[in-house]
Amino acid sequence: DGGITQSPKYLFRKEGQNVTLSCEQNLNHDAMYWYRQDPGQGLRLIYYSQIVNDFQKGDIAEGYSVSREKKESFPLTVTSAQKNPTAFYLCASRADRVYGYTFGSGTRLTVV
Amino acid sequence: KNEVEQSPQNLTAQEGEFITINCSYSVGISALHWLQQHPGGGIVSLFMLSSGKKKHGRLIATINIQEKHSSLHITASHPRDSAVYICAVRYFGNEKLTFGTGTRLTIIP
């Protein structure tokens, strides 16, 4: 079955370390997205990519970086510059010219 | 500022009750989504609407474009419906989705 795979489900890192969250899709979707979820807040867009080798900043891109070298992969790096990295991170994808989204199961990152 | 408002924030009901969750948005949209998030965190897309009404099993979603309002209904609610329900919209000319903060639904047996 097609879908989005996010790994790992839970991730612990020490403060000051960079960490990369994986997002892979086998849906042949063109667009991919990273969202962050904090308690009591709606999901917020970090970065998105509409095509391979191109990506744009979302509302809260500071302290994060992404790459889109392959259509099926959109990894997110949480850098040491991100001041409050502990959160739940969701990856999503969407086929071009189609409004429906598919979401991954998320990665809960805890920085200690 | 484009926002999405959901009500109620929390809802507890007895098994079998009819449930309604509301969503309001501010300006024209190209699509509205209803999503379900279980305690593990993963999100499932329930409906995508641009007009009218959609039904899937015990779930019904409606949208009123003139009033900028959508409702999600659950008939014959069951404890397994307990989850957070999230409304999200895609405003015209905007690539991203704007999310509501969610409605936490608890169905008591």
The whole-angstrom separation of Cα A43 and Cα A90 is 9
> What whole-number percentage of chain B has pLDDT above 90?
75
User: Residues B45-59: what's their mean pLDDT?
Assistant: 93
Q: How many CB pairs under 8 A join A and B?
A: 57
pLDDT score of B92: 84
pLDDT score of A96: 63
> Nearest chain A Cα to B33, which residue?
A100
> Taking CB atoms and an 8 Å limit, are B45 and A100 in contact across chains?
yes
User: Residues B27-56: what's their mean pLDDT?
Assistant: 89
> Taking CB atoms and an 8 Å limit, are A42 and B86 in contact across chains?
yes
> Taking CB atoms and an 8 Å limit, are B96 and A48 in contact across chains?
yes
Question: What pLDDT band is residue A73 in, cutting at 50, 70 and 90?
Answer: very high
Query: Looking at the complex, does the CB of residue B60 fall below 8 Å from at least one CB of chain A?
Result: no
pLDDT in tens, A22-50: 999 999 999 999 999 998 888 999 999 99
User: Residues A50-77: what's their mean pLDDT?
Assistant: 96
